[in-house]
Amino acid sequence: MAPSPSPGNGGEWEEMEQLRRLLQGRRRLILPSGPVPAAVLLPLFHEDGSWNVLLTKRTEHLTHHGGEISFPGGVRQDDDPDLLATALRECWEEVGIRPEDVDLLGTLDDIVSVHNYLVTPFVGVIPSQYPFNISQDEIQRLIVIPVAELLRPEIYRVEDWSWKGRKMPVSFFTSGEDEVWGLTAAILRQFLDLIQPAAAQEACDASTDCHHSPDSHC
């Protein structure tokens, strides 16, 4: 079992358990099989008083998505017993996160990429100050963005793009010099739409105005 914040950590523990309840208490969207099955992990860790999201910038020479920012993950292999195993294996191979160090909180909605991958996003917590060991062949560098930064509306935008003769909305998050876009940004948007009302719960005292938007797959 992964080392997790103990109840003695106060707010940090309560926030993590609240997110676990949110993820496990909802009915997630499960899409029919057909596209290539794949999985990613949205890794969270608590450090310097805030929750942070871990992303990777892929090396430029990769055939698929070279130079892009993504979550650790990839295509399900024949010997992966399930999609969670896929996400955890890829995390180990790409950034050196041991499967036993991931405290799984839950699963977001399935999402299909424009390249015909059916991606299942898992959310998990890893220990702070983790001794990452990145794959130099696949990963150029790690990117850490505080959740509070991602919740700032001014860093998010949606553009209408044309793909194979049809228009589609594409999400973007711009944090400093890093731009997260496409499928990864859509997963982030879904995660943030889920947690944003939880973050505002104390301020709105559960009034009928305090509700979240449906999950977005921009």
pLDDT (tens digit per residue) in 179-200: 999 999 999 999 999 998 754 4
Give how far the C-alpha of residue 53 lies from the chain's centroid of Cα atoms, to the nearest Å: 7
Could you read off the pLDDT of 105-150 as tens digits, one per residue? 999 999 998 888 999 999 999 999 999 999 999 899 999 999 999 9
pTM for the predicted model, two decimal places: 0.85
Largest CA distance in the chain: 55
Element (DSSP H or E) covering residue 123: strand 117-125
Measured between alpha carbons, how far is residue 113 from residues 23, 81, 163, 205, 206 in Å?
Answer: 22, 22, 12, 37, 35
pLDDT at residue 10, rounded to an integer: 61
- 143: which 2 tokens? 């990117």
pLDDT at residue 25, rounded to an integer: 93
In angstroms, the CA 145 to CA 175 distance is 8
Mean predicted confidence (pLDDT) in 32-50: 95
Measured between alpha carbons, how far is residue 33 from residues 77, 87, 120, 160, 192 in Å?
Answer: 15, 18, 11, 27, 26
The strand pair at 36-47 and 117-125 is best described as parallel
pLDDT at residue 165, rounded to an integer: 74
Strand order in the sheet with 156-163: 156-163, 166-175, 178-181
What is the number of alpha carbons within 13 Å of residue 159 lying toward its C-beta? 9
pLDDT at residue 56, rounded to an integer: 97
What is the number of alpha carbons within 13 Å of residue 64 lying toward its C-beta? 9
Domains of the chain from N-terminus onward: 7-204 (3.90.79.10)
